[in-house]
Amino acid sequence: MRIIQMSLFSWKLHGTGTSIAPGEVVSTDERLSWPRTIGVGLQHIAAMFGATFLVPILTGLPPTTTLFFSGVGTLLFLIITQNKVPSYLGSSFAFLAPIAASVKSDSMSVALGGVVATGVLLALVGLVAKMVGTGWIEWMLPPIVTGTIVMVIGLNLAGAAKNNLAAGPVVGIITLAAIGIIAAVSRGFIGRISIFLGIVVGYVAALLMGDVNTDGIKSAKWVAAPTFMSPTFNGNAIILFLPVVLVLIAENVGHVKAVSTMTGKDLDDSMGDALVGDGVATALAGLGGGSGTTTYAENIGVMAATRVYSTAAYWIAGIGAILLGLVPKFGAILSATPVGALGGAGTALFGMIGILGARIWIDNRVDFTNSINLIVAASALIIGISDMSWSAGKYTFSGIINATLVAVLGTMILNGLAKSRS
């Protein structure tokens, strides 16, 4: 055990630890001096924060609990991948719709049961990938499928954004305008956190207008354990979360491939470990009252900008998130975010998630002159966005579930029929 621990926490010093020569990168098993490594780790916290804190605020989960499990999950991910895959595990937006649906029909406890089930299933997928490889994943989830599912998940939330904006239209418009202006005039890191900064502007505006309830902030402690919640398992609710598994698979595989390209290291043998790591982190979060996790593209941006791929920086980020999770006062400030600001942010954010689906199509040059791709995507989008649902006994299949089934099975079956014809 001592040998394992020593190898896990041993990073070679890159050069003198003070600089990076042109054309070089700090590899996963290297680090800069500890002060510089801590600085990069703090950048990773800043990069993940805007997205990670939005999910609990939008769903009603305790923000500090989600931050706490985000940090714990990141550390577990690093251990499971043996420090080979630099990644931060933040809250996944793919959980927004099924959590909201579960809370509306049952309770938050039932929603957490769905999060746990998602994590367990993802970990099992990772174990299978470790044994037989990931070729079957790419076959089952081609870009036409993943792009469609991501787009559906984002656009299905349009109604929630509308309702929140209607509850506080002035603050919502201020927030949305601020997001747009910040994105237009800023570059680099500031531009990437425009939604977070827009919410800050909307929050301040609401505060000045007297629309923020500060009682909870005043009474909250500075230091205390997070608010933990336990899950309840309901088969009907768990079904709602199945499409999320497919999104998390695609995100993890894409993340590992991106890091492999950027570092020049072959990380194909770490695909399974990455899926297991995210699955374990997600299941643990659901068991304690946090939102499910995923690998963060925001942090890939930090690595690209700094040229530091050291996993040591991610240990700093994970520990930092855990410490933030122990500050209830901070969580109370986040929980008091006005509904109008959430509406303005949701209008931009949910639409952006939808556009990410289109980006998957574009980046992979999905051929829409192919009638199969066109029919599958068009049908799934209408089913998902309009939330066409049906029931079988005690189980209800929501629009997102049905859209996912159409995208996955439709692509497989129709392509199979086309090949048999030829």
Burial class (CB in 10 A: 0-12, 13-18, 19+), 250: buried
Contact 259, 85 (CB under 8 A): yes
Element at 202 (helix H, strand E)? helix 194-208
Element at 79 (helix H, strand E)? helix 63-80
d(CA 339, CA 156): 19
Please name every residue paired with 395 in a beta bridge, in sequence order, or none if there are none.
Answer: 392
Q: Determine the pLDDT at residue 1.
A: 41
Q: Determine the pLDDT at residue 394.
A: 63
Q: Determine the pLDDT at residue 201.
A: 92
Instruction: Render each residue's pLDDT in the chain as its tens digit; 422 residues.
Output: 444 444 566 788 888 888 878 878 888 888 888 888 888 888 788 777 767 877 888 888 888 899 999 999 999 999 999 998 898 998 888 888 889 888 888 899 999 999 999 999 999 999 999 998 878 888 888 889 888 888 887 888 788 888 889 988 999 999 999 989 988 887 766 776 787 788 889 999 998 998 888 888 888 788 888 889 999 998 888 888 988 898 888 888 877 887 787 777 878 788 899 999 999 999 999 999 999 998 876 677 778 777 888 899 999 999 999 998 898 887 788 778 888 888 888 888 888 878 878 888 998 899 999 999 999 999 999 998 888 877 766 666 778 888 888 998 999 999 888 888 76
Q: Determine the pLDDT at residue 265.
A: 80
d(CA 281, CA 127): 15
The closest of 250, 73, 65, 62 to 146, measured between CA atoms, is 250
Kindly give the pairing relationship between strand 390-392 and strand 293-295: unpaired
Cα 372 to Cα 109, 178, 408, 414, distances in angstroms: 40, 41, 12, 7
Cβ–Cβ contacts within 10 Å for residue 199, how many? 26
